[in-house]
Amino acid sequence: MYVQLLKMIGFTLLMLFSLTPNFAESANILYIIPFPSMSHYIYLRSIGLELAKRGHNVTVITTHLEQNPLPNYHQVQVVKSNFWELIGGEKPNVFDMADISAEEFHKKIHWPGSIGLINVVLSSPEVKEFLKKDNTFDLVICEQFFLEALHALSAKYNAPLAIISTFGNCMKHNFATGNPLQLATVTAEYLDVHNPTSFWGRLRNFYFTVYDYFWWKYWYLGKQEELVKKYFPELGDNTPSLYELQRDAALMLINSHFSYDTPSALLPNIVEIGGVHLTSNNASLPEDLQKLLDDSKDGVVFVSFGSNVRSSELPKQKKDAFLNVFRGLKQTVLWKWEEDNLEGKPDNLVIRKWLPQKDILAHPNIKVFIGHGGLIGLQETIFNGVPVVGIPIYGDQYNNLLLIEEAGAGKLLKYHKINEETLYKTLNDILNDDSYMKSAKDMQRRWKDRPMSPMDTAMFWLEYVIRNKGAEYMKNPARNMSWFAYTMVDVYAFILVIFITVIGSFVKLLITVKKYLSKPQKKVSTKKKRA
Ligand SMILES: *[C@@H]1O[C@H](CO)[C@@H](O)[C@H](O)[C@H]1NC(C)=O
Ligand SMILES: *[C@@H]1O[C@H](CO)[C@@H](O)[C@H](O)[C@H]1NC(C)=O
């Protein structure tokens, strides 16, 4: 009896101990994702919900609310804001942005938008109420996208910081943490370079990267620091600067994967979790859509320009080009169109104000997707192996689509080049040539071929930095070196000086020897002649 009881206790203890290393027990996590864009939220919500599912006590600062979250998922709501009002203007016709340079886009949209948004977040009543409370956190996770002032919450709670980006490589973070920039192959995240590895492509990338870095570090971060002073006066002067917080972040999770994005060197605490929002358990489609897709035996062309771009703002000429090309197709066309009516709509075109993009793309009858190449949506086409006709408008869209085109899984059509002829040719090339579908399926297979799902990867590393209290040892020692030591400029300069000295001495020696030889030379030669 007694022995058996001991055995049982021993077994239970063994079970407990063998299990514990796999868990970073339930942790208190602050998750800061207030950026109002729906596509960012679609990506980021998956991580917060999964952390709660795994038993962590998650507090989320967010603009969008979940309807029925777990009881350990606490939402602190940010007042809904209109991004365009934040930068002091009406919502522009987004198609006009196809003309804006990356520099202008930062100066006119990203930077003022960020300052406006952070003011909205930190003066939202729920957020103010939450910040007054005496909470403690084991980890602060913050989105990277122009939200630096909010990184200061990791200093406020004295907790390690993990940063999550909804895009891939981040040049400013690379600079700060000492991750190689790889300017010859890796393009800055919001730059549209048409031929990235050409001389002009590399020059353009170099120029923009330097421009962005200096404005960011010496102007923009200053504005962000002012916001920190305004909203967190209790932090005082001893807290790390926002630059230091980014530099010392425990973890950076980036939305890329080398099977699609340009392969690049990454520090151990920069981890690719591209497509973390995508899972195979397909939600069922609304009945009418399911029937429409099932019945379209010749296939379906699916058109959507995402949540920020309204197709109905297309100028008439371009809209007519689309309608005329669609009219000639035997396929059904499904278009996310934000108005009730569409004049001149052909019979094979179905319009809806809202469409469940992810679930539609999973349907086997989808033959091609037409969209702007926003990364979150584009990853849904990769995940489902659907070829793309991409019409880039702004930000990283051009680069994203260039990668698709290079992989043979689609074609890029510049906005200004759209007319009936170009659209007809591009679309029919893809519909009639199987190679696009084949390449899209290849890409889909490679995208999913990983040792761990992107979600498991994200969870592992977030729990890893909690378990290891910020994993200080994982950070690059380059963070604390001067730029000339890190770039080896001092060593190269030293070698250059030695080299010049040696060559100089050698030349001097030669001259001396020559001089010395040229005098006695006559004697020698006369001796020789005599002999
Ligand atoms: C979970 O987080 C909330 C803050 O949002 C806090 O009030 C609560 O005490 C935490 N629960 C536990 C068990 O730590
Ligand atoms: C959804 O998944 C099930 C099995 O997981 C599959 O049989 C079905 O075809 C899928 N539906 C769609 C629309 O892809």
CATH assignment of the domain containing 360: 3.40.50.2000
Atom 12 in ligand 1: residue holding the nearest Cα: 57
Instruction: Please state, in angstroms and rounded to a whole number, the distance separating the CA atoms of residues 302 and 431.
Output: 12
Q: Give pTM, 2 decimals.
A: 0.87
- How confident is the model at residue 22, as a pLDDT? 46
Q: Would residue 56 count as lying in a domain? A: yes
- How confident is the model at residue 526, as a pLDDT? 53
Residues 228, 254, single domain; the answer is: yes
Q: Would residue 525 count as lying in a domain? A: no
Residue 43 or residue 14, greater confidence: 43
- Domain end among 448, 465, 483: 448
Write the burial class of residue 414 (CB in 10 Å: 0-12 exposed, 13-18 middle, 19+ buried): middle
Which residue has tokens 């590393």? Answer: 461
Phi, psi angle pair for 354, to nearest 5°: -140, 140
Residue 26 or residue 527, greater confidence: 26
Residues 59, 123, single domain; the answer is: yes
Q: What is the pLDDT of residues 108-166, one digit of tens each?
A: 889 999 999 999 999 999 999 999 999 999 999 999 999 999 999 999 999 999 999 99
Instruction: Please state, in angstroms and rounded to a whole number, the distance separating the CA atoms of residues 38 and 189.
Output: 20
Q: Would residue 181 count as lying in a domain? A: yes
204 lines ligand 2 (CB under 6 A): no
Cα-Cα-Cα-Cα torsion 142, 147, 150, 151, nearest 10 degrees, comes to 60
Among the bound ligands, name the one nearest to the CA of residue 70: 1
pLDDT exceeds cutoff 60 at 522: no
Q: Would residue 442 count as lying in a domain? A: yes
The number of angstroms, rounded, from the C-alpha of 311 to the middle of its chain's C-alpha atoms is: 24
Among the bound ligands, name the one nearest to the CA of residue 133: 1
Q: Would residue 140 count as lying in a domain? A: yes
- How confident is the model at residue 20, as a pLDDT? 46
Helices (H) and strands (E) in the chain — how many of each?
A: 21, 13
- How confident is the model at residue 115, as a pLDDT? 93
Average pLDDT, rounded, for the chain: 91
Tokens of 450: 């990983």
Residues 197, 98, single domain; the answer is: yes
Residues 384, 399, single domain; the answer is: yes
Query: For residue 335, what are the domain limits?
Result: 287-448
Q: Would residue 208 count as lying in a domain? A: yes
Residues 246, 302, single domain; the answer is: no
Residues 61, 116, single domain; the answer is: yes
- How confident is the model at residue 260, as a pLDDT? 96
pLDDT exceeds cutoff 50 at 21: no
Q: Would residue 531 count as lying in a domain? A: no
Residues 148, 220, single domain; the answer is: yes
Instruction: Please state, in angstroms and rounded to a whole number, the distance separating the CA atoms of residues 253 and 163.
Output: 6
pLDDT exceeds cutoff 60 at 14: no
Which of 88-97, 333-342, 389-398, 424-433 shows the lowest per-residue confidence on average (mean pLDDT)? 88-97
Number of structural domains in the chain: 2
Mean pLDDT of 301-307: 90
pLDDT exceeds cutoff 60 at 15: no
135 lines ligand 1 (CB under 6 A): yes
527 confidence band (pLDDT: 50, 70, 90): low
- How confident is the model at residue 354, as a pLDDT? 87
Do residues 389 and 426 lie in contact, with contact meaning Cβ atoms separated by under 8 Å?
A: yes
Task: Find the helix or strand (DSSP H, E) in which 466 lies.
Answer: helix 454-467
Atom 6 in ligand 2: residue holding the nearest Cα: 282
Length of the chain: 531
Q: Would residue 507 count as lying in a domain? A: no
Residues 198, 292, single domain; the answer is: no
- Our CA angle for 221, 83, 214, nearest 5°, is 20
Instruction: Please state, in angstroms and rounded to a whole number, the distance separating the CA atoms of residues 246 and 170.
Output: 12
Residues 273, 234, single domain; the answer is: yes
C-alpha 381 – ligand 2 centre gap (Å): 16
59 lines ligand 1 (CB under 6 A): yes
- How confident is the model at residue 313, as a pLDDT? 84
C-alpha 279 – ligand 2 centre gap (Å): 12
Residues 172, 65, single domain; the answer is: yes
Residues 262, 292, single domain; the answer is: no
Mutate to test the pocket of ligand 1, among 25, 26, 51, 59 (most ligand atoms within 8 A of CB): 59
C-alpha 291 – ligand 2 centre gap (Å): 14
Residues 274, 355, single domain; the answer is: no
C-alpha 289 – ligand 2 centre gap (Å): 15
Q: What is the pLDDT of residues 463-502, one digit of tens each?
A: 999 999 999 999 999 998 998 899 899 999 999 999 999 9
Q: How many CA atoms lie within 13 A of 128 on its CB side?
A: 9
